[in-house]
Amino acid sequence: MADTPLQPGTLYLVATPIGNLEDITLRALRTLRECNVVAAEDTRRAGQLLKHFEIQKPLVSCHKFNEARKSSSLCQRLSNGETVALVSDAGMPGISDPGQRLVRAALAAGARVEPVPGPCALVAALAASGLPTEEFHFVGFPPRKSGARRRQLEMLTEIPGTLVFYESPHRIGRLLAELTALWPECPVVLCRELTKKFEEHLHGTAADLAARFKDRKAKGEFVVLCGEPRSALAKTSGDD
């Protein structure tokens, strides 16, 4: 099935590149070209993306600080039969990005919501990590406060499957230190700058990976994945 016309009254969640502009899909381009309005996390950034692909479209802002307010006017447009394409700064809207509120509001208002799938850092990192993909738990960004971080990590010890974290370059060292203290033998994969020029996939324990960043500043965007075993118990029982 290709080239189905956009359906009136639909909110399209359009995934956009996480670095490499070649990763935009044909369907994303057509949706952006044919929709009535693009709702964007950052209208300047979305404007640059549209300009790169020679698309001219009205843009409205929809970011985490105005999403609740903007949802009602966007839902009104949907109930008038318009088509709205939501884009975030990168990747899939709603995944550690604005979008969830608008999606819930649109569904509650009886509108159609359709994903236009494409790049997503969590999926790209997980698939390339070599860690089990049958069962995984997406954590997103860990909390900033120490107590909340520790409690979350302790709770995650019991969760089966691969864990996937997003983390900022400023806190990557802190996360690796926390993982070393809690799960010293856990296999960790660090995916940096996916789809970009300086893309890297580093494998080891959290201590090994922390050592790799001892002499260089952690720069860029990171996905951190943790395999098993994670608990001290699993570590010792694995010896027999």
> Applying CB under 6 A, which residues contact ligand SAM?
18-19, 88, 90-92, 95-97, 120-122, 166-168, 191, 193-196, 221-223
DSSP state, 93?
A: T
Place of tokens 């400023």: 170
Distance in angstroms (rounded) separating the CA atoms of residues 99 and 39: 10
Provide the minimum distance between the beta carbon of 193 and ligand SAM in the complex, in angstroms, as a whole number: 5
Nearest distance, CB of residue 223 and ligand SAM, angstroms: 5
DSSP string, 9-30: TEEEEE-B-SS-GGG--HHHHH
Complex with ligand SAM: residue 117 or 204, whichever CB lies closer = 117
State the nearest-atom distance from the C-beta of 237 to ligand SAM, in Å: 33
Q: What burial letters (b/e) apply to 54-70, b meaning 16+ CB within 10 Å?
A: ebebebbbbbeeebeeb
Sign of CA dihedral 41, 42, 45, 46: positive
Which H or E element spans position 116? strand 112-116
Tell me how far, at minimum, the Cβ of 97 lies from ligand SAM, in Å.
Answer: 4
Q: Which residue is nearest to ligand SAM (CB)?
A: 91
CB of residue 232 to ligand SAM, shortest distance in Å: 27
Per the CB < 8 A criterion, the answer to whether 176 and 209 are in contact is yes
* 12 vs 77, beta carbon nearer ligand SAM: 12
Smaller CB separation from ligand SAM, 95 or 186 = 95
Residue closer to ligand SAM by CB (options 178, 221) is 221
